Amino acid sequence: MKTMARVEHAEPAVPPTIPERERPGKAADPCVMVVFGGTGDLNKRKLIPALYNLATSNLLAPEFAVIGIGRTVMTTEEFRRKIDQDMRQFATVPVEPAGWQPLLSRIYYLVGDAQDKDTYVRLRELLEEVDKNHRTRGNYLYYLATAPEFFGEVVRQLGAARLAEERDGHWRRVIIEKPFGHDLDSARVLNREINRILKENQIYRIDHYLGKETVQNILVFRFSNGIFEPIWNRRYIDHVEITVAETVGVEGRGGYYEGSGALRDMVPNHIFQLISLTTMEPPISFDADAVRDEQAKILRAIQPMSPEDVLNRSVRGQYGEGVVEGQRVPGYRSEPHVAPDSATETFVALKLLIDNWRWADVPFYVRTGKRLPRRVSEVAIRFRRAPFVLFRKTPVERLTPNELVIRIQPDEGISLRFGAKIPGPLLRLGAVKMNFDYADYFGSTPSTGYERLLYDCMVGDATLFQRADMVEAGWSVVQPIIDVWRALPPRNFPNYAAGAWGPKDGRDLLEREGNHWRDIDS
């Protein structure tokens, strides 16, 4: 039985605490966005469509331009024709010429190698020309959509060409895509390398998951509703489950995934961001550093694992051939660019504990994987059962615990499960749900997941971006798992069929403590 929650006045009001620059319709700062990796998939699939959505929402400054940098030899006109064709395929809304052509005419292309000093000399010349033609006021946003091994080199070259200096009121900001390092040591080295050139407030370590409305709404949901915050603690919550599941395989990225795996690819960034937003203490304000201070405290409070803990509280898996969404698919070891005896995990499940007053003894179960039955990301809060004493002499056999589920994708929303009496002469209980769906109440907003993040970077709001200490704290939690798994290669891969919810050990992780994963299919 499903009961739809009702919202009387769904029009979102603008709270008076929101800074003027962030109010709807306020355009971002004039600037030039320089995309290293301008001919890559990220630019054509996500970044350009996101910029179009910002432009049609009046959130992009008229004094704005884009420079794509790539090694493919082509002219600006050829690049524009390619982008124009790509938009027909990847735009999230129908492309209207009146909105698209002005943006397309401000897109430029520079042939160059990110490791070549001459590229940055020519980039400086092009930036000066674009500044003059489009009055972008000398503000530059550099987006590093390159392979991770080039992050440090690009920043070093920007510094050497004096393209990262902030002076005369001009700002310079750098967006760095994940992964930020591949372990704790490499993350520390990369932080030191880029901090030689950039100040921390110039660095925007991006996680596109935080561009999703429901992720951002976790803070609003927790701290603006008086009925939830008082019970958001160990006294009332039994455990928390976080699931980030994908139906796809590695999609031709076997070479990258072989060096990453599910643990590195998802846990230190996506999943730890969800954990920190779900569990952090109330910040003193929504200023970027106030929010990130509380997130960093949570990441540092996650209980470090000993080698024995890793064996007991972590599970890894790799998919074999199977059936996903009615289609037979190959196993991971049969994917292109994957070793036939690969030991890379495509599934991870962990039991994490947070050593602080609010969350002591509350287990946090997380799982993420490829080739699972459904594409879904969610945070499920399972509350403690009510005392049964009142129902001892009734037909009621047990009480179903209350459950709050924050759905992040594909259908963003929130649902609450609670018990209600089933109509009839006998006292029988049934579980009912109140569902809130973003699209139903606020309408659907065309989004790639990057609009909010690009806009925030243009206005200088780093709230949704990771700080250096947060990155290192996340890797500190993951590093003991990496070390043990490296020392003890798996002997039973593949250990789950494509289309299953991971290996049996992933279920046992909860069941041996009397818990079970939420039935997402119900």
Amino acid at 227: I
pLDDT at 474: 95
- Among the residue ranges 5-9, 173-177, 363-367, the one predicted with the least confidence is 5-9
Q: Which CATH topology does 210-381+462-511 take?
A: Dihydrodipicolinate Reductase; domain 2 (3.30.360)
- Contact in structure between 332 and 342 (CB atoms under 8 Å): yes
- Over residues 216-238, the pLDDT tens digits come to 778 888 888 888 889 999 999 99
Question: What span, in angstroms and rounded, lies between the C-alpha atoms of 207 and 408?
Answer: 14
pLDDT tops 70 at residue 343: yes
User: What confidence tier does 387 reach under pLDDT thresholds 50, 70, 90?
Assistant: low
- Among the residue ranges 50-54, 385-389, 518-522, the one predicted with the least confidence is 385-389
Question: What span, in angstroms and rounded, lies between the C-alpha atoms of 127 and 34?
Answer: 9
Question: What span, in angstroms and rounded, lies between the C-alpha atoms of 129 and 484?
Answer: 54
User: What confidence tier does 70 reach under pLDDT thresholds 50, 70, 90?
Assistant: very high
- Contact in structure between 427 and 420 (CB atoms under 8 Å): no
Both tokens of residue 406?
A: 């924050």
Better-predicted residue by pLDDT, 21 or 218: 218
Question: What span, in angstroms and rounded, lies between the C-alpha atoms of 505 and 484?
Answer: 17
pLDDT at 11: 40
pLDDT tops 60 at residue 403: yes
Better-predicted residue by pLDDT, 423 or 457: 457
pLDDT tops 90 at residue 378: yes
pLDDT at 14: 35
pLDDT tops 70 at residue 1: no
pLDDT at 18: 33
- Over residues 75-107, the pLDDT tens digits come to 999 999 999 999 999 999 999 999 999 999 999
Q: Which residues contact 81 (CB under 8 A, 6 or more apart)?
A: none
- Mean pLDDT over each residue of the chain, to the nearest integer: 88
- Among the residue ranges 156-160, 336-340, 445-449, the one predicted with the least confidence is 445-449
Among 208, 270, 337, 516, which one carries the catalytic annotation? 270
Domain ranges of the chain: 26-206, 210-381+462-511
Question: What span, in angstroms and rounded, lies between the C-alpha atoms of 204 and 450?
Answer: 13
pLDDT tops 80 at residue 400: no
Instruction: Answer yes or no: 239 catalytic.
Output: no
Report, as an integer, the average pLDDT of 29-52.
Answer: 95
pLDDT at 500: 96
- Contact in structure between 260 and 348 (CB atoms under 8 Å): no
pLDDT tops 80 at residue 444: no
Alpha helix (H) ranges present in 11-96? 41-42, 48-56, 76-90
Burial-class residue 354 by CB neighbours within 10 Å (0-12, 13-18, 19+). Answer: buried
pLDDT tops 80 at residue 371: yes
Both tokens of residue 84?
A: 């124009």
Report, as an integer, the average pLDDT of 237-253.
Answer: 93
Q: Which CATH topology does 26-206 take?
A: Rossmann fold (3.40.50)
Q: What are residue 294's phi and psi, to 5 degrees?
A: -70, -35
- Contact in structure between 350 and 241 (CB atoms under 8 Å): no
Task: Name the CA dihedral angle for 412, 416, 417, 420, rounded to a multiple of 10 degrees.
Answer: -130
